[in-house]
Amino acid sequence: MKMFLRCFKPKFYKKSKSTTSYMKIRLDTVRRRRIAMVNYLRMDIVNFLKNGHDFNAYTRAEVLLEELRIISCYDIIERFCDCISKNLSLMLKKRECPEECREAVSSLIYAAAWVPDVPELKDLRAVFTHRFGNFIDSCVNHELIEKTELRARPSRELKIQTVKDIAKEFSIDWDPTALNLLLLRQTSALQIEDKVERERIIRDDQSEDESVLSESWTKDSLSKGSLSSSSSSSFSSLRKESVRKKILPYGLISPPYKKPGARNDENAQEEKKEKRKSAVQENSRLLGSQASVSLTNTSNKEASSTREKERTSSFQRPKLLDYDEVVDRLEALRRR
């Protein structure tokens, strides 16, 4: 009769029973593997202490403490699995989660996201959430939270103490003063590096602020001193022309070894045009948009006027022949 009733148990009972039993088997295998790793690390620390490598033993102590933390998480999960397997009949009778199993259910649902070595926790989480809804944060075991979510790196004192305990267990005479001095030097060097890095960052920020201020100041000075710069540019252009006249005694007049002609006059006029255009361009670049438009219009007018003058000067009217001379020539040709 009991076997018959077991066959017709609800799906929640069957799934929970099978998942918890599989989970206990999984926890045993994973725990054995972790314990083997712990023994290996302990022997590593012993060998480092015998050979005088204190700092290597200190770093291995951190890995050893991490493995011990994971094993303690496995122990807590196994304890809650036993609690659920004992109270499955009570959970089956009530629609809501009973008080005796609330901590176990909430902690196992929470551990499914933090213990990837046990995939059965995800199946158990799906069963419990379907039956009771989401878990309650206040009911989760605080020790499990400290060992998973709120875990931090072990302190220096705890690591040195673990190395001391292993040395005492294997009857090794070990003095931690040299290791403490080495760790103090490392911490001081790290503090100095952090201080230098902070000062460098502050200096970079100050230089960036100064560059921004200098750029804004130059923009303001350029906008305010546009008129003064235009006048100074015109004065500098006149000064350059005067210096050129001092250096070249002939100035714009053609030198004596060249014959005066139309080509020399055209070259001089082209040079004048280029000088005028360069002066106009400099003034338009320094002044605003309105001044640049007016200067370009004046330069275009001057250029057009100079072109018209050149055309009129270069144009020469052809000499007309006398009518009587033309008639005489034609008669002479006919006689021939």
Residue 14's nearest CA partner among 85, 94, 77 is 85
Distance CA 105, CA 54 (A): 44
For residue 319, the model assigns a pLDDT of 62
Q: What is the dihedral of CA 217, 219, 222, 223, to 10 degrees?
A: -110
For residue 70, the model assigns a pLDDT of 93
Report percent pLDDT > 90 for the chain: 24
For residue 296, the model assigns a pLDDT of 57
Residue 273's nearest CA partner among 306, 314, 237 is 306
Q: Can you point out the beta strands (E) in 119-252? A: none
> How many other C-beta atoms are found inside a 10 Å radius of the C-beta of residue 105?
28
Predicted TM-score of the model (pTM): 0.55
> How many other C-beta atoms are found inside a 10 Å radius of the C-beta of residue 48?
19
For residue 92, the model assigns a pLDDT of 82
For residue 232, the model assigns a pLDDT of 52
Tokens of 195: 């201080």
For residue 192, the model assigns a pLDDT of 83
The residues of the chain scoring below 50 in pLDDT are: 1-5, 227-228, 231, 235, 238, 243-262, 291-293, 315
Distance CA 132, CA 180 (A): 53
For residue 328, the model assigns a pLDDT of 82
Tokens of 125: 């989480």
The CA angle 303-309-311, to the nearest 5 degrees, is 105
- Where do the H-state alpha helices sit in the chain? 2-7, 11-51, 54-86, 88-93, 99-111, 120-132, 142-148, 156-169, 177-224, 226-247, 262-286, 289-314, 323-335
Burial 8-25 (b: 16+ CB within 10 A, else e): eeeebeebbeebbeebbe
**CA dihedral sign of residues 34, 152, 105, 135:** negative
Tokens of 232: 């100074």
Eight-class DSSP state of 115 = -
For residue 285, the model assigns a pLDDT of 65
What amino acid occupies position 134? N
For residue 276, the model assigns a pLDDT of 74
